[in-house]
Structures are given as C-alpha cells and as structure tokens.
Structure 1
Amino acid sequence: MRMPSAPVARWIGPVVRDAALWAALAGAGVFAYRDRVAEASPVLGLVLPLLILAVAVPGSRGRPGAAVFLANAACALGLAEPAATASPYLAALAVLTYLLGVRSTRTGAALLLFGACMAVDLALCAVLGVGPVYWFYAVSMIPSALLLPWLAGRYRQARLALVRGGWERARGLEQRQRFVAEQARLRERTRIAVDMHDSLGHELSLIALRAGALELSPTLSGQDRADLAVLRAAVADAVGHLRDTIGIVRDTPDTPDGPDTPDAPDGPYGEPTASSVEPVEELVLRARESGVTVDLRREGEARVLPPLVDRTAYRVVQESLTNAIKHAPGAEVRIRIVHQGSHTEVRVANSAPPAAPSDLAPPHDRGPSRAAGHRGLTGLRERVRLIGGTLHAAPRGGGFEVRATLPDQVGPLWPEAAGAPPEEETGAESARRLADARRRTRLRFAVALAAPAALGLLLLGSAAYLAHQLTACVLRPAEFAALRPGQERAELAHLLPDREFRYVPDAVKAVPAPAGTACAYYRSNGSVLDQADVYRLCYAGSRLAAKDVLPSRPLTTSADEA
C-alpha cells in the first residue's frame, strides 16, 4: 500500500479532527430538532445552522474570531424562528470560543468580538419582540458560552507557553551539559594518550638504549653494527613520531585544566598529574596525612596490570577520594580492590557526612546546572569505558559509592565505532521529565474539565428523567374527547398513556371528586416548561364515572362561578 506523502499527511489529521468536531456538534442539533420537526422550519432550524458550522469549524484554525461570530449567528437563528431549537448550538459556540482562547493572543479583539455578538443578539430580540424566555437566553446563556470557555482557552494557552518555554530552557541547559561532558571525555582521551606516550615511549627508549649498547660489543661484525644502528635510528624516529602525534591531541598549554599544566594537581591534596604513575597505597597515605579516614583493602591474587588499567584504577580511587573530601567532609571512606578472574573491581564508598548530609551527593547528582561538577565522573566514566570496563556511581546507604569493573587486558579503545553510545547520552533527562510534565498537565486539565462535566451530566440526567416523567403521562386532547363515562377501564387501555401524572399540584388535588371513586391524573400536553391542564379520570370500580379538565393553576373565582 502506498503511503501518503508528507504534505498530504500533514493536512489529513486536521481535516479528520475538524470533521469529527463538526459531526459531534451537528449531532446535538439534529437530535434536538427531532423533537420539534413538525413545528420548526427545516431551513432555519436545521439546514442553515449545520452549513454555518461546516464553515466555522475548519475556519477556526485560520480565523477563530470569524468562526465564533458564525457560531453566534447559528444561536441567534433560534430568536428569528422561535419554534426552532437554538440551545444545542450553544455547545458549538462554547467550543469555538475555547479554540479562540487557545489559538489567539489578542485580548482586545476578542472582547470587541464578544461585544459585537451581544449587540447583534440584543438588537434581534428588540426587533422581533421576543418573549422573556428569549431575552434571558440572549442576556445570560450566550454571554456565558462566550466568556467562560474563552477564559479556559486563555489559561490553556498560557500554561502551554509556560511549559514550552521552561522545557526549551531545560533542553538548552542539557545541551550545554552534554557539551561540557564531551569536553571532559576528550580531555580524558588526551590523558590516556599521554599515558600511552609515557609507557610506550619509555619502552621504546629502552630498546634504543640497548641497541646502542650492542653496537659497542666487540663480538659483532660490521654488518651487525650497521643493522643495529639502523634499528636504533628507527626506534628513535618512532619515539619522535609518537611524541609528535601525542602533541597534536594534547590540550594547549594555556588551558587551565589541561594535562600540559605541570603544576596543576589532580586532587585537592597534591596528587601527581596524569603523566605520573604511583601505587594507590601512596595516594591513600597522603589522604590519611590530610586527616581523611580511609580504609584500603586488597583482595584476591595480586597481579601486574597493564599501564592503562593500572592508571585507570588509580584515577577511580583518586576521583572518588576527591569527591568524598569535597562533598562529604568528615565521612569515612572505604576502598576495596578485588582481583578475581580476568578483571579487577574497584569500589570506593563513603559514609554520610556527620555535619551536612544535604551536601553529600556529588555535583553531577544535583541537577543539570552544575555542569562543572559533572566533569570528574564523566571523564572517569569515559576512561573506564574506553578500556572495555564499566563504571557505576550512585548514592548508597546515606553515602555515595563508585564501583568500577576493569578488564585485566585492555579492550577496544574506541567502542563507539562498534555502535556503543556513551552511557550518559542514552535517553535525555529533559525529554523524560518533559513527557512526565505533559502527562501530569493533561491529567490535571482532564480533572478540571471532568468535575464540572460530571456535574453537568448529573443535572442533564436529572432533567432528562424529569422530562421523561412529564412526557410519558400525556393524554392527547383528541383521545380525552373520545372517552365516555360508563366505559370499562379495559376498553380505555389503548387510549391511555403508560404512566399516570405523579406530580399533581396540591391545588388540583384539592378539587372535590365524585364520592366513591378513585381518580387518575394525566397531563394535557408534553411541554416541559409551559403549564399544562390536568385531565382527571375517576373510576367507580372498573367503570369510568367522570372525567374533568382541571387547570394547573385554578382561578380563585372558580368557586364563585360554580
């Protein structure tokens, strides 16, 4: 099946939504028109309002003000044709007014539009000379359908703008944080390159030195000395090429925190720079001399690790100690270095600080704005990842724990070439939080609409039930005229409605009935709002004894007239 093109798919959605909205609004009008199909004009009561809505609903996207004016015209048709039903189109007016509040920011123009709609409705009432019910309709119902939904739409528009602006700022801050993290990763790669230069250059220099010593051996022939000279020159060239290559990826000397800065220590108490190598025990010893409570334990069989792995283990301990001293002063630090199988696990955990537990978490755990504090663990994670290991850092037991698993043999240095993304880039935090905020906003907005909607449905249900009670007990005048006293009750069953009128006014019930009879009451018409006369049928046993027409509001002079 051929999929629609992008431009076509872009307008299919709005068209479908507009069609569904028109169908819902038109359905209310059609349903209401069915009750007065014999009295109302089909043009004014049905055809013209539906055509107006067919223009107003899609037009509300480009000109929401004109759409509101057209919907008001559909409501005003009920004033021009009193027999037609106007109230169902109040829903259309309210919906289009809400869309005006959402889609337009011009407050003054909206208020002028509402004033024009009111002026048209009131002028039409004055010209047609309608009754009080329609004046009430024009003065109260239509203004409510104009103003209240518009205010709800403006609130929705302001809330969406606020959320959108806030999350755009959050997205910008997150991009900034990712940029800082990328700088930290690049800086850590540079440090790894420096470590490679230090270890590999040292080994090559030893090879060149031994080759030079062999040249002086008296047991070698001239050809052997010439070959050794060539070998020593090649090794010296390799050392020079290595130095030049590393010099390209090094930070510039004027970078404050670059590895070329000879006097910049890695930690707060004078640890060596990235180019030096020392045992972890010496690092821990200096920390203890600085007043830090540190417990170091090694478990498993000690082994000689490659320089990159050894340096990475040192950096894990160093960075964790630095964070513990900075963010949990006075806390006890426990270091475990476990050699097992083909890997080494380094765990550094600090307890909760005795004074300020709120400052325990390292900066990366305090929000995206602390980008500078995110560099340490970001760079450390990059270094561990590049040699094929894993690193986890999280709060634990009131303190904080850093756990690194390092392979005994260095894996691929650039794992992203195989498709492995950096750990902190998998799933943007701002995107997840934005989705949560949108979900909460939709829920709150749904609740705000559901409460009045539920109340309205309850009122409508009650009104519908009452209307059914009033219309199901109607005895038509022609059928009432066909009833004759003396007929059996069974003979009258096909002429009588299914229900009796149960809400008979007390004044009607007070009218005396023939002695020895039981009476049933029925309404004379199905009007819900208008007063209707009451038909009373009195039975003596199973026969109709008398029938009476009782006004719903008996005149006070009726007794005198009798």
Structure 2
Amino acid sequence: MTKLGLTGKALPGPPTASGRAWLFDAALWTVLAGAGAWEFRSALEPSAVRDLVVPFLVLAAAVPGSRRWPGAAVFAVNGLCALGLTDESDPANAYAVALGAMTYLLGARVRAGRAALVVLASCLFVDLAVCVVLGQGAIRWFYAVTMLPVALLVPWLVGRYQQARRALVSDGWRLARSLEEEQRFVAERARLRERTRIAADMHDSLGHVLSLIALRAGALELSPELSGRDRDDVAELRRTVSEAVDHLRETVTVLRDGPDADLEGSSVESVEELLDRARASGVAAELVREGDSPSLSPLVGHAVYRVVQESLTNATKHAPGSAVRVRIAHADGRTEVGVTNSAPSAVPSPGRTPGNRGLAGLRERVGALGGVLHAGPFERGFRVTAVMPDRVGAAPLGGAVPAAPGDGAESARRMRYARREVRLRFAVAFVAPAALAVTVLPSAGYLAYQLATCILRPADYAAIQVGQERAEFARLLPPRGYRYPSDAARAVPRPDGSVCTFYRSNGNLLDQVDLYRLCFSDGRLIAKDVIPGDPV
C-alpha cells in the first residue's frame, strides 16, 4: 500500500507502471479531458489556453503522477478549479469532476489519513483565498464553500472505504492462512507424538516376543540332545535375537527423546480401570461391551485404550458435567469403539482451549492399524467412533478420506464471512446516498436540460429585428422558451394582445442571467426586451 509523507508525496515502493496501469490512466485522462472539452464547447466566452490547453496539460501530468505523488496531483487539479473562480462568466467549470477523481485516488492509494487531510485543507484554503483576494460575489463563494469541499471530501472518504475494504480482505486472508498453517503444524506434531507412542507400543509387544524367543533359545542351547554344531547355531540365534531387542530399544529410545518420553509408552491399564478412575473423579461414565471379546493384537488393544482415554479427556475439558457412554463392540474380525458425551451441564472455563490435537493423533494411530476414525457433533454433544481390525495386517477398512485444506477449511470459511461483512457495510454506507441520487439526480438533470435548451445567444438576439415574421428567424431561436421567469420578470408590461416568450441569455446555472423577452402578435415580432439579472 502506498504511504503518504507530510509533503503529499507517496513513499517509494515497487514500480506500478504496468500496461494495465497505463491503460487505466489513459482512459481516465480521456474522460476528464472530455468533460473539459464539453465545458469549452458550451462556454459563452471560451479561452482555448485557459479552458483547454492548460487543463489538458495539468491532467496529463496529474493522472499518472497520482500513483507516486497523489497529494501533488490533487493540489494541481484543485488549481484548475481555483482558476475557474476567476472566470467572470462561469465559476463551475467541469474540472470539479477531475478534482473528485483525484481525491478518490488519494483516498484509495494512501494509508496516512492526517497528511491527506492536510492536502485537502490546503486546497480548500487556496480556493477561499482566491475568493477573498479577488473580492468575488456570493455565487462564487457558494461554489467555493459547497461544491469544492464536496469534491474534495466525499470522494476521498469513498476511496478510504475502498482501501479499508481491500485491507480487511487481504489482512484477514493472511491471518487465516497463518492460523491454518499453525493448525497444520500442531496436527503434525500430534501425529509425530502418536507415531512415537506407536513405536513404543511396538517395542513393548515385539520386544516381549523377541525376549521370549531369546529365552527359549537359551534353554534350548543347554539341551544335552543337541550336537555341537546345533548348539552353536542355537547360540548364534540367541545372540541375534538379543541384538535385535537391543537395536529395537535404542531406536525407540531415540524416537521417544523429549518431554513426551514418559507418556503412556507401556501402559497396561485396562479400559475398565480407566473408567473407574474417571468415576472416582466425578465423571458419569458408562461402559457397554457387545460381542465376544477376541484376542486383540497388543497394538489394537492399546489403540482402543487411547481412543477411550482421549475422548474422555476431551469430554471433561470441553463439556464439563456431561455424561459419557463408552461402547466397545466386536464382530466379524473388527472392533468398534464409540465414545459419546452429552451436552455439557457447566460452562467451559474461559480462555483459549486447544482442540483437535489428540484427535489428529488418534486418527494417525487408527489409520496406521488399518482402521478409520470419525469425530463430530452428535445430539447436542459429541461422538468419537473408531473401527479397527482385530489383528494388525488385516485388510484395511475404507471410508476415511483425510480432509485437505480447501473450500471447507477454516480460513476459507472466515474469508467468505469477511467478504459478506464488507458487502453488508458497503450496502449500508451507500444505499441511502444511492437512493437519494436516484431520486434527485433525474430531476436535477431534467431541470438542467430545460435550462440548457432555452438559451438565446446574444448575437442571435441582436440579429432579430422588430417587425419580422417569426418564420424568418425561427432557426435562431432555441427549441423551447424559458418556463421559470421570476414574478418581477412576468410583471414587466407588454404590448396589448401580444404573446411573450422568455429566453435565457447564457448557460450559467448558478448565477443571475439576463432574460430576453420576445413578444409576438399574429406571428410577427412586435417587441423585444432585455430583463436584467433574473435568478434561476
């Protein structure tokens, strides 16, 4: 984001002069210069240098320069509006539109609000100073204290809103991605810890089996029925098994290095004992077993224990006071463990409570054994279900697909919520002005159209002579007459039996203008008058 210094100059940043940027600048310059050319075309006393050449050059420098010097661009275009205040015929030049465009870009591109306000206040000070020095009348003062402040402030506020909207979306997206990366890191740590526990379980079960093999080999080595060669082979077998046990112990020791080294590596506590301890702590826990209990693999048995333990821990942490029901069912060579807790009867303690770390580890453990694990809300509570084969190495169970970050990720949901909030604020901030504009602008535009199409140029008025037939000079008359003359203008005496039509002498919408009155009788002009200073 471009930043503005106290001098109104944007701080240096990466280059922005891309092809798209140049195309935008060219289109913007064309629109703003076209508005100035239209004003020049309709002006009563146009000056090519003042109304075209100088403004076009200023815009040609200000539009691309607003990317690096947005404050200076606003100040330069405001100079064109101040130049309009010196025009005796029309203070409301078309470059107020250019001023609004530059102030919008100032608000959209510049983060520093105080320095931008200094630029806007300086521009307004210059405009008022021009009115004071030149001793301008009420119409120019009205233009300087209403139209120019609106062109300076309102577009800048809109630009600031757009900048805040972009910042909200980008910052929210960056924060969401950071949080998601942190969550993935935490989940990965949980998986690694669970793999360490799995390695410890493998050591406990496999090490126990290998130790029994070594013990049997040692006993066999002492048998008197073996020959010398057989005894040497059995001794070599015993040494090999002993070395394998030592290597397994060393490997697991390395894996268990750290603060988690003493965590449940070789727990022999049963599920019943675990629930007894929970009940002694005041937890309403119930255990239901279904089916004949098979001889489970040690790794599967410990996984069952870990599912119940982690689910019970989460229930007491996140749903204090809830009742916990544990169901363990055995059928068709697989074991299903379900832990369900009811809605909490107490409010969890305030503060950030970490979650899903243990579940990530459980999912890793159960998946490594060929099983699947599901966890989610259930009847105002929470349920964890794990299905595993009774023996390690059996056919894996299908149905579990890891969730990849995408549209359903937390960051994506937060992003969609932020966008909805920004759209809602945009609607609230702009629906009222938009409704007012839809109501007022058509009426104002129609009035301006009527005033612009009832102008009789002074030269054409001078060419019309009393006594001429209307058809002789009809080409010089505007399409319609002026419908809103003042009561004083209507009260001016007119020839008897005549019908009079009023015309405005110039297109100034803010100042008092002279009215031309043409009076006709039987299609012949019988009188022409100039009524000075009739206001709109």
Q: Same fold (TM over 0.5)?
A: yes
Instruction: Describe the shift of the 1:527–1:401 C-alpha distance in structure 2 as closer, same or farther (beyond 3 A).
Output: same
Distance 2:527 2:519 in 1: 7
Amino acid at match of 1:280: V
Q: Does 1:544 find its partner at 2:523? A: yes
Pair 1:67 & 2:66 matched: no
**Cα deviation digits, residues 160-197 of structure 1 (max 9, x gap):** 77887787777666655554443332221111110011
CA contact (8 A) 1:76 1:86 kept: no
Q: Does 1:25 align with 2:32?
A: yes
The aligned counterpart of 1:211 is: 217
Give yes or no for the alignment of 1:370 onto 2:353. yes
Amino acid in structure 1 at the alignment position of 2:442: G
Task: Tell me, in whole angstroms, the C-alpha distance in 2 between the residues paired with 1:147 and 1:34.
Answer: 29
Is the counterpart of residue 466 in structure 1 residue 450 in structure 2? no
Aligned to 1:4: none
Alignment of 1:225-374 (within 5 A): 225-252=231-258, 255=259, 258-260=260-262, 273-288=264-279, 290-299=281-290, 302-339=293-330, 343-354=334-345, 356=346, 358-359=347-348, 369-371=352-354, 373-374=355-356
Residue 47 of structure 2 aligns with which residue? 41
3-state SS of the aligned residue for 2:266?
coil
Cα distance in 2, alignment partners of residues 251 and 110 from structure 1 = 58
AA matched with 1:324: A
Structure 2 letter corresponding to 1:240: D
2:240 and 2:39 map into 1 onto residues whose CA distance is: 98
Give the AA of the match of 1:182: E
- Change in Cα spacing, 1:15 to 1:523, as seen in structure 2 (3 Å) is same
Q: 1:389 to 1:95 in 2, by over 3 A?
A: farther
For 1:63, the aligned partner's letter is: W
Please state whether the residue corresponding to 1:533 is helix, strand or coil: strand
SS at match of 1:527: coil
CA distance in 2, matches of 1:436, 1:158: 16
The aligned counterpart of 2:10 is none
Question: Do the aligned residues in 1 keep the contact of 2:128 with 2:144 (CA within 8 Å)?
Answer: yes
Give 1:428 shift: 6.0
> Equivalent residue for 1:398?
380
Q: Determine which of 501, 508, 511 is the counterpart of 1:521.
A: 501
One-letter amino acid of the structure 1 residue matched with residue 75 of structure 2:
F
> How far off its partner does 1:331 sit?
2.1
Greater displacement, 472-481 / 333-342: 472-481
Paired residue for 2:464, among 474, 481, 493? Answer: 481
Match of 2:366 among 384, 406, 414: 384
Letter matched to residue 523 of structure 2: L
Tell me, yes or no, if the aligned pair for 1:475 and 1:522 is still in contact at 8 Å.
Answer: no
The amino acid of 1:32's aligned partner reads: E
TM value normalised by structure 1: 0.74
Letter in 2 for 1:461: P
Q: Is residue 41–residue 84 contact of structure 1 (8 Å, CA) maintained in 2?
A: no
**Deviation (angstroms), 1:425:** 9.8
TM-score by length of 2: 0.78
The residue aligned with 2:11 is none
3-state DSSP class of the match of 1:55?
helix
CA separation of 1:502/1:315 partners in 2, compared to 1, >3 Å: closer, same or farther? same
Q: What secondary structure is seen at the aligned counterpart in 2 of 1:402?
A: strand
- What fraction of aligned residue pairs are identical, expressed as a percent? 54
Report the residue type matching 2:71 in the other structure: G
| Structure 1 position 191 matched with structure 2 position 197 | yes
CA contact (8 A) 2:505 2:513 kept: no
Preserved CA contact (<8 Å) 1:319 1:376: yes
Is the aligned partner of 1:224 residue 2:258? no
Asked whether the equivalents of residues 504 and 521 of structure 1 are also in contact (C-alpha less than 8 Å), the reply is: no
Q: 1:405 to 1:25 in 2, by over 3 A?
A: farther
The residue aligned with 1:137 is 143
Q: What amino acid sits opposite 1:334 in the alignment?
A: R
Structure 2: segments with no counterpart, 5+ residues = 1-13, 395-400
Name 1:441's counterpart in structure 2: 422
Pick closer, same or farther for the CA change 1:27–1:191 going to 2, 3 Å: farther
- Quickly say closer, same or farther: Cα 1:100–1:244, change in 2 above 3 A: same
Report the Cα offset of residue 53 of structure 1: 1.9
The CA deviation at 1:200 is 0.9
CA drift at 1:351: 1.0
* CA distance 1:325–1:135, change in 2 (3 Å): closer
Helix, strand or coil for the counterpart of 1:260?
coil
Moved more, 167-176 or 43-52: 167-176
